[in-house]
Structure 1
Amino acid sequence: MLISDIKVATMSDDGPGYGLIEDAGLVIEADKIAWVGPISDLPPQYSSLEIRSFDGRLVTPALIDCHTHIVHGGNRATEFEMRLEGASYEEVARAGGGIVSTVTATRDNSEADLLAAALRRADALIAEGVATVEIKSGYGLDRDTELKMLRVARAVGLARPIHVVTSFLGAHAVPSGKDADSYIDNTCIPALRAAHEAGLVDAVDGFCEGIAFDTDQMRRVFEVAKQLGLPLKLHAEQLSHIGGTALAAEFGALSADHVEYATEADAAALAESGTVAVILPGAFYAIRENQAPPIDAFRKHGVPMAVATDWNPGSSPLGSLLLAMNMACTLFRMTPAEALAGTTRNAARALAQSDRGIIAAGMRADLAIWDVHSAAELSYGIGINPLHKRIFGGAL
């Protein structure tokens, strides 16, 4: 199939722009891109193909949400309301709120119920042009529920036209009444081994923070993940600076996520290791943070920046990747080109998905076609979804 009468933002240039091709053509063979370029340069062997015209619309790589928690039970709207009415976090926790409530609901929900809820969330992302989504565990905090969450995440990719990358996040929080060290050694690491043996894990993540796990505890998890041949990710420096970003860089992690309290030295370490900084403005907004990630330092050192929703029931109930792009620009002064790179090229890199995220010959034909005049409109609109059509693996 030949797609014509389009503008193409290839996102294939590591520079500051979109890699834009005006008056472009794009050839799809099976699930791959066979050719892209100015339509005037169309190779003769493609001249007889079926043509689909898109009336001058913009084509980008399909979007990638590289950090989500969309498999979980229940929601936290009640405690959101309680806080707005003046309750403290301690009072919310005493009332059964916080992560404990999500863990309880996730443990209590059947796989069928968790899948039904996750599919509604996946549908919202698909409707905005998302073709790849990362889904974490982490609301089980016991072996059986962590594996249940990962099975549901796999099932999302079977039930919908979306590619799912799973991350084991057993080191998400310390369960009530447990000691952090004993939980890591006696529950988290055995659950990781079991999940890997079941073929449920694509990467290993953790929450390295004062309210969760320190660098020594995360190091033990990372060492096991390394033995299993699994790539690493890390929630790092979200609320304070305790060395998570440096740990991620030391282990050559795919990404360090949140990174609000990262330093310029951290940025240099990420650049050296090739680790992506995943920017999560939804959590910054929802918990009313004041410390923004060091975007200028990331630019200075050439750290690739991704942007994601962090869709979760507590700190980022954000179901729009387009809105996350707008927030990254508005709250953190990222450019629209950086935001789009962050949800395409760099998001693919944060998930080790080397066959997507840019438009080039040989890449997977996951594409988004937009009713916009310029690529900047994708980050400019607030609550606007200009998606015209999504192409998944070459299928319209």
Structure 2
Amino acid sequence: MRRIRADLVISNCNQIITLAGKCPRRGKEMRELGIVEKGWIAVKGEKIVFVGGEKEFREEVEVHCKTKWIDCEGKVCLPGLVDSHNHLPFAGERVDEFKMKLEGASYMEIAERGGGIKKTVGMTSEISKEDLKKITLQRIKKMISQGTTTSEAKSGYGFFLETEVKQLEAVKEISPISPITLIPTFLAHDIPSEYSGKREEYIKYLENEVLPEIKKRKLARFFDIFCEKGVFDLEESRRLIKKAKELGFEIKMHADEFTSLGGAELAIENGARSCDHLLEISKDGIKALGRSNTCAVLMPSVPFFLKTKKYAPAREILEANGIVALGTDLNPGSSMNYSMLFTLQLAVFEMGLLPEEAITAGTINSAYALGEEWDRGSIEKGKKADLLILDIPSYIYIFYELGTNPIEKVIKEGKIMEV
């Protein structure tokens, strides 16, 4: 038998959390991590070519003088984490608002003082594309240090074509040098004040100008819409989703975050890859998720950051056989969170997921939520070598030892990264 030639070998892993096999995972399947103890991994180029025990490794894998070795004795190897909901390319911060919130200011009080989403829209409109690219790359460095190797990157802080294009072009232009894989999404985020009282005109503007131009320039894979009371209602959302699908976009949705409008059902009706947030999802919506292939992307750092104490009903969705994934929802107003590790921990302590379920939700199921499950999210032969080496003896320490970062090394598509 001809042996496989390896460029990188990871040896003696106390645990390899492979998550090999079925994808996406539902119900009790989410507790099955596919652990290989005392395992070895071989990588050739960007891809994994071997996962298994030392005996099989010696028989099947060939090393050469330039093969790199990582001794993982007493440590854990985990798939790179996947952030399936992230508003990455925005300008500025809103730390002043954060302080006001902590002091008791309401959303309306902050808005009356010039804050809120429109402040970020203004800063993002004013910044140059080159400066936006620099800021985005700085954020990406923080994300990879916390184990994220693949992330969504939403626009939505432009409202108008010029700034939406600037956001998405920034993502496209940094992608070749980004240390993480970026999946671009065009988000219809809100109705701008310039169209107050002229909602129909803005819907037509999105239909006839913005969506076609973004598709023509090949700037986004997904279309997302904020379906919510006071933003885009169900019929407006349905109409824009229909247009996006006609143009060839895949669909994601912000749904049922503040009010139970039936956003989850609309997402399922349209074959959306995911519906996100879901703090106010109805019982019927939960049942519908369990019968569908639409993924529930949950972001526990949002209610944590906002101190609302109400979290999405993760356990109910799981028990209904729904697909659950996780994201940071990185944004300047409601979740300035770069860390998928922290997100996994919050999912356990605040949403009631088991550690195994949280890991599954933040890896293979999040890869599914971004349409990347064939390449990423698990440690399997033929997949991209996106791997984390954690200086802990068992995966359970991710949740047991808080306030530390156990990530010792990040490997992205076979390359050992500096973090």
Report the TM-score range of the alignment, normalised by the length of the smaller protein.
Answer: over 0.9
Counterparts in 2 of 1:315 and 1:251: CA distance versus 1, 3 Å: same
1:197 deviates by 0.6
Query: Is 1:279 the equivalent of 2:287?
Result: no
Can you give the 5+ residue segments of structure 1 that lack an aligned partner in the other structure? none
Secondary structure class of the residue paired with 1:332: coil
1:80 deviates by 1.9
1:47 deviates by 4.7
Larger mean CA deviation between 77-86 and 384-393 belongs to 77-86
Larger mean CA deviation between 242-251 and 174-183 belongs to 174-183
Q: Which residue of 2 aligns with 1:90?
A: 108
Residue 379 of structure 1 aligns with an amino acid whose one-letter code is F
Alpha-carbon distance in structure 2 between the residues aligned to 1:165 and 1:182: 30
Larger mean CA deviation between 372-381 and 226-235 belongs to 372-381
Q: Which residue of 2 aligns with 1:39?
A: 54
Q: Which residue of 1 aligns with 2:350?
A: 331
1:188 deviates by 5.8
- Equivalence map 1:179-218=2 (5 Å): 179-187=198-206, 190-218=209-237
Query: TM-score, structure 1 length as denominator?
Result: 0.95
1:81 deviates by 1.9
Tell me which of 129, 132, 138 is aligned to 2:156: 138
Tell me which of 1, 13, 19 is aligned to 1:11: 19
Alpha-carbon distance in structure 2 between the residues aligned to 1:297 and 1:147: 38
Residue 48 of structure 2 aligns with an amino acid whose one-letter code is I
Give yes or no for contact 2:153–2:185 (8 Å, CA) kept in 1: yes
Counterparts in 2 of 1:223 and 1:57: CA distance versus 1, 3 Å: same
Tell me which of 65, 73, 90 is aligned to 1:72: 90
Secondary structure class of the residue paired with 1:56: coil
Query: Is 1:163 the equivalent of 2:181?
Result: yes
Alpha-carbon distance in structure 2 between the residues aligned to 1:329 and 1:198: 41
Counterparts in 2 of 1:53 and 1:85: CA distance versus 1, 3 Å: closer
Alpha-carbon distance in structure 2 between the residues aligned to 1:53 and 1:343: 25
1:359 deviates by 0.9
Query: Is 1:245 the equivalent of 2:264?
Result: yes
Secondary structure class of the residue paired with 2:210: helix
Alpha-carbon distance in structure 2 between the residues aligned to 1:74 and 1:248: 31
Give yes or no for contact 1:26–1:35 (8 Å, CA) kept in 2: yes
Give yes or no for contact 2:85–2:152 (8 Å, CA) kept in 1: yes
1:215 deviates by 1.1
Counterparts in 2 of 1:111 and 1:255: CA distance versus 1, 3 Å: same
Give yes or no for contact 1:277–1:305 (8 Å, CA) kept in 2: yes
Alpha-carbon distance in structure 2 between the residues aligned to 1:307 and 1:357: 12
Counterparts in 2 of 1:91 and 1:292: CA distance versus 1, 3 Å: closer
Alpha-carbon distance in structure 2 between the residues aligned to 1:183 and 1:234: 19
Residue 406 of structure 2 aligns with an amino acid whose one-letter code is P
**Alignment coverage as a number of residue pairs:** 395
Which string of whole-angstrom CA distances, capped at 9 and with x for unpartnered residues, describes residues 83-131 of structure 1? 3334332221121101110000000111111111111111001112211
Instruction: Report percent identity of matched pairs.
Output: 34
Which string of whole-angstrom CA distances, capped at 9 and with x for unpartnered residues, describes residues 223-275 of structure 1? 11111222110011111100110001111111111111113321222232211
Tell me which of 280, 303, 312 is aligned to 1:293: 312
Query: TM-score, structure 2 length as denominator?
Result: 0.90
Query: Is 1:356 the equivalent of 2:363?
Result: no
Which string of whole-angstrom CA distances, capped at 9 and with x for unpartnered residues, describes residues 194-243 of structure 1? 11110101111011111311111111111111112221100111111001
Secondary structure class of the residue paired with 1:28: strand
Give yes or no for contact 2:300–2:312 (8 Å, CA) kept in 1: no
Query: Is 1:220 the equivalent of 2:239?
Result: yes
Can you give the 5+ residue segments of structure 2 that lack an aligned partner in the other structure? 1-7
Tell me which of 263, 267, 275 is aligned to 2:282: 263
Choose between structure 1 and 2 for higher RCO, CA contacts under 8 A separated by at least 6 residues: 2
Alpha-carbon distance in structure 2 between the residues aligned to 1:115 and 1:155: 8
- Equivalence map 1:54-65=2 (5 Å): 54-65=72-83
Alpha-carbon distance in structure 2 between the residues aligned to 1:283 and 1:139: 18
Which string of whole-angstrom CA distances, capped at 9 and with x for unpartnered residues, describes residues 8-33 of structure 1? 00012542132111011111111111
Give yes or no for contact 2:48–2:380 (8 Å, CA) kept in 1: yes
Alpha-carbon distance in structure 2 between the residues aligned to 1:81 and 1:338: 34
Give yes or no for contact 1:92–1:98 (8 Å, CA) kept in 2: yes
Q: Which residue of 1 aligns with 2:9?
A: 2
